[in-house]
Structure 1
């Protein structure tokens, strides 16, 4: 009777996320040969090729894409069983970098559940632009970083899901009759700001900067007051705002990748790795 090894599935998911055996091996604490061997044995067990090399990146094959969500489900179930039956012995300190809009929307509930499951892990959360978070990660300031990337970005290591970008406005204020689109945006360097301005320029739509604010709550208040519109990921649109549909003739925006990146070190501790997996599984 053949068994499907859970460690091999964890390695498979890590390689899918990283697009590289070397990076995946660093994240899961295995050597490069051991990581490659686990992938090879999994391919032999399933009798199919799971990865294709496209340029310098490993991409999942058709079979790999089919396996990926099922592997994540099995890992999540395995972690849930372990967490249910063992004592919360995990200890440590994890410094987590987040884009501010996720710190006020998706992540608080996830981090709250993690803290309840692992009360001996101290979480420190720092909010900033994705660009700054990644720079700080390279300087080893953060143990773990959640960041946003354009789908075409070559830096999107650790991508866990795509999220559609949408135009967002107030239900009580419209923009279709305005000569210039009033924009409510974060400061320069914000991925939403870059996308909004680029797409409007490409579509030859006149625009003006109406309000600049560094965090989502300030942007939300400005839009509710009718100062303009903004761009956000669909999953974090506040309930008080509305998604502006295509009939208002705003250009399409595409999608972004949500990425989780651990500090580039072979000494990532158990608390950091556990939080990384917890966020990944929760955002699927």
Structure 2
């Protein structure tokens, strides 16, 4: 016989788990303390497991409670997503988004999958270029939405999604970082990372040369993987086969990379807002996964 868990029981359970208190949870779900106690009793009877340890002033989760909490968040998130999808007006048309190709493999599949489920009639065009070029296209109205890596968080309309480390990347199979002058593989001159790399090396008085330049991450990766140069990348852009140089290598620190979302004032604003929301939701829901190198 199948056991159905009412979502209101899961909401109450999570409220207790997050607040560590029946009284605070009662305020959050707008019920009396006795009512939520009855709900937890019913939930434990349904699952035939003890979910909470009630102490004098605090309430903690049992091992089974921890398992349920992880599933409950996902269940409620899906519940809210399907309600939102079915209640919103169906959108259609084209939207043009842009992001650097070094971030596309990491972030785009999840965003597009979520957006496609919500808005199956919307067609999406994707452009992968440098952040500098994308911002120009955004200003000219050639793209509707851009995920870019920037250094200036004061830019008007920039919505911060994530900040992450930037570091020196190399092939662990080679000792390229010991060569002098140091061979570098970098994006073209308009790239912030290129400016950061050369400025940091100049300040550290490390002799270098620009050995390889490419507007494509694949081109830079090929040179670095072959042991012909090193480069700098942010955490999310680090591909398989490359590693972060350890601090013992003596290379200077680099600024953090800020990933931001910027919207065009032109184009279909309903589509822009809808896709923007999916970018934000994807980053909010996947921070732990996105933090893995």
TM-score bracket, normalised by the shorter chain, equals: 0.5 to 0.7
Cα deviation per residue 1:154-181 (whole Å; 9 max; x = unaligned)?
A: 4672222212101111110123432222
Distance change >3 Å, CA 157–CA 79, structure 1 → 2: farther
Aligned equivalent of 1:270: 270
8 Å Cα contact 2:177-2:230 kept in structure 1: no
- Cα deviation for residue 83 of structure 1 reads 4.2
Q: Aligned with 2:96: secondary structure?
A: strand
Count of residues in Structure 1 that have an aligned counterpart in Structure 2: 210
Instruction: Work out which of the two has the higher radius of gyration on C-alpha atoms and give 1 or 2.
Output: 2
Distance 2:233 2:140 in 1: 28
Partner of 2:111: 110
Alignment of 1:175-254 (within 5 A): 175-254=176-255
Q: Is 1:279 aligned with 2:279? A: yes
1:204: how far off?
Answer: 1.2
Q: Distance in 2 between matches of 1:188 and 1:230?
A: 14
Pair 82,197 (structure 1): closer, same or farther in 2 beyond 3 Å:
farther
Equivalent residue number for residue 73 of structure 1: none
**1:225 Cα shift?**
0.6
RMSD: 2.6
Change (3 A) 1:176 1:168: closer
Question: Structure 2 length as normaliser, TM-score?
Answer: 0.65
How big is each residue's C-alpha offset from its partner over 1:200-256, in whole Å with a ceiling of 9 and x where there is no partner? 112111111111121111211111111111111111211211111111111100201
**Aligned with 2:148: secondary structure?**
strand
Please name the residue that 2:158 is paired with: 157
- 1:92: Cα distance to partner? 2.1
Q: How does 1:109-128 map to 2 (within 5 A)?
A: 109-128=110-129
Q: Is the alpha carbon distance of 1:256 and 1:77 closer, same or farther for their aligned partners in structure 2, counting shifts above 3 Å? A: farther
Would you say the 8 A contact 1:88–1:120 is kept in 2? Answer: no
Residues 245-272 of structure 1, C-alpha deviations (whole Å, 9 max, x = no match): 111111100201111011125x743222
Cα distance in 1 for partners of 2:124, 2:218 equals 22
Residues 131 and 149 in structure 2, CA contact (< 8 A), matched pair in contact too: yes
Cα distance change of structure 1 residues 103 and 152 upon mapping to structure 2, 3 Å threshold: closer
Unpaired segments ≥5 residues, structure 2: 1-76, 285-293
**Structure 1: 5+ residue stretches without partners:** 1-75
In structure 2, relative to structure 1, the CA distance for the partners of 1:118 and 1:224 (3 Å cut) is same
How many angstroms does 1:81 deviate by?
Answer: 4.4
**TM-score, length of structure 1 as denominator length:** 0.67
Aligned residue for 2:176, secondary structure, equals coil
Higher relative contact order (CA 8 A, sep 6+): 1
Secondary structure (helix, strand or coil) at the match of 1:210 reads strand
Q: C-alpha separation between the residues in 2 aligned to 1:218 and 1:156?
A: 32
1:131 aligns with 2:135: no
